Amino acid sequence: MKKSLVMLVVLVSSLALAGSVFAMGDWGCYTMPTCKKPPCVDQVLCKGKCKGKEKLCGPCAPTIKWSCNWMTVLKCPAGEKPAKVAKFKK
């Protein structure tokens, strides 16, 4: 019982001493490093083509043909200049 009480007192006092040493240290001199933001780049996420033929309703209705090109682009915010602009080739 006496040994465990002595060990407990030694352990608590050493933890208190270590805590006071860390508390007395000047933590103001440690600055966090700043992270550099990667440059913004416009990206083409997907692109495609479509075409088709549709017969309209009615007895004399014509058949129409249609086609389209589409592209989805991830753009940079207005304040940042893109490093490289992705172009859509026809």
- DSSP per-residue letters across 25-89: S-GGG--PPPPPPPPP--EEEEEEEEEEEEEPSSTTPPEEEEEEEEEEEEPPPTTSPPSS-----
Of the pLDDT bands very low, low, confident and very high (cuts 50, 70, 90), residue 30 is low
In a domain, 85, yes or no: no
Range of the domain at 52: 2-27+36-74
Task: State the pTM of this model.
Answer: 0.35
Number of domains in the chain: 1
In a domain, 79, yes or no: no
In a domain, 82, yes or no: no
The whole-number pLDDT of residue 69 equals 92
In a domain, 84, yes or no: no
pLDDT tens for 42-61 read 888 899 999 999 988 888 88
Checking if the pLDDT of 82 tops 80, the result is: no
- Residue 58 is encoded by which pair of tokens? 């009615």
In a domain, 81, yes or no: no
